[in-house]
A = this chain, B = another copy of it.
């Protein structure tokens, strides 16, 4: 297996965490530039070089960026699908490929909305410049959007038999649901708990993903980074009240 190179900002799990989980569950060889010192080709300069197109291929718009041989691609869901397909973490049935992609993209939509609660006006401004709007956005997210998304995933999971979200085996989409539940619990401890009472199947899925040996080993390693207030999921207590 050719090694993968994952290029992302250092210091936050962020969107790259979705790709890391697929790589780790697959036990695929990969270099994570976010965890490499600059002296070894990592850190912020690795991101900047990738954004300048120095990896070849189509210049990426934003990280996470994945290099695999001559392939250089971006967009988180795209990366999860790409790695998943190569390591039995994506439905093998071609008819399920666009179904799985639809689900993976719907997880991405939920994640984007969770992010936008702390940056509702613009990602170009600091959170502190949009706190009032963030309070309103978070209220809508906690009481309407997050429940709507999670109840829907609960229903899809039940319709598929309750084990995995798509197909008959674990896939990148299940790993993404695990990470999203982790993030929602971090950002909205009260709000997430309230919704989880209605989504026991998703909570069970989360726990079964966490208990998988490769995932468990990863979570216990120093490669797993904690959430913090520079990332996708941020704990601002006012946004969870």
Which of A's residues lie within 8 Å of B, judged by CB?
53, 57-61, 70-75, 77-78, 81-82, 95, 98-99, 101-103, 105-106, 109, 112, 116, 120-125, 130, 133, 136-137, 140-141, 144-145, 149, 152, 155-156, 159-160, 166
Contact B152 A133, beta carbon cutoff 8 Å:
no
- Chain B: minimal CB distance from A195 (Å): 15
Q: With a CB–CB cut-off of 8 A, which chain B residues contact A149?
A: 61
Contact A74 B59, beta carbon cutoff 8 Å:
no
Q: With a CB–CB cut-off of 8 A, which chain B residues contact A58?
A: 99, 102-103, 156, 159-160, 166
- Chain B: minimal CB distance from A97 (Å): 9
Known contacts A59-B156, A121-B133, A144-B124; A99 and B75 CB within 8 A of each other: no
Identify which of B82, B136, B159 contacts A59 (C-beta below 8 A).
Answer: B159
Identify which of B95, B121, B123 contacts A71 (C-beta below 8 A).
Answer: B95
Identify which of B78, B116, B120, B166 contacts A105 (C-beta below 8 A).
Answer: B78
Identify which of B74, B95, B103 contacts A70 (C-beta below 8 A).
Answer: B95
Contact B98 A78, beta carbon cutoff 8 Å:
yes
Contact B112 A136, beta carbon cutoff 8 Å:
no
Q: Assuming A122-B145, A124-B145, what are 7 further A-B pairs, CB within 8 angstroms?
A: A53-B159, A58-B103, A60-B102, A61-B152, A73-B98, A78-B105, A125-B140
- Chain B: minimal CB distance from A197 (Å): 21
Known contacts A60-B102, A75-B106; A144 and B122 CB within 8 A of each other: yes
Minimum CB distance partner of A77 in chain B: B105
Q: With a CB–CB cut-off of 8 A, which chain B residues contact A81?
A: 98, 101
Q: With a CB–CB cut-off of 8 A, which chain B residues contact A78?
A: 98, 101-102, 105
Minimum CB distance partner of A70 in chain B: B95
Q: With a CB–CB cut-off of 8 A, which chain B residues contact A60?
A: 102
Contact A121 B98, beta carbon cutoff 8 Å:
no
- Chain B: minimal CB distance from A201 (Å): 14
Q: With a CB–CB cut-off of 8 A, which chain B residues contact A72?
A: 99
Contact A121 B120, beta carbon cutoff 8 Å:
yes
Nearest 8 pairs of A and B residues by beta carbon: A122-B140, A75-B105, A75-B102, A73-B98, A133-B133, A124-B144, A121-B136, A121-B137
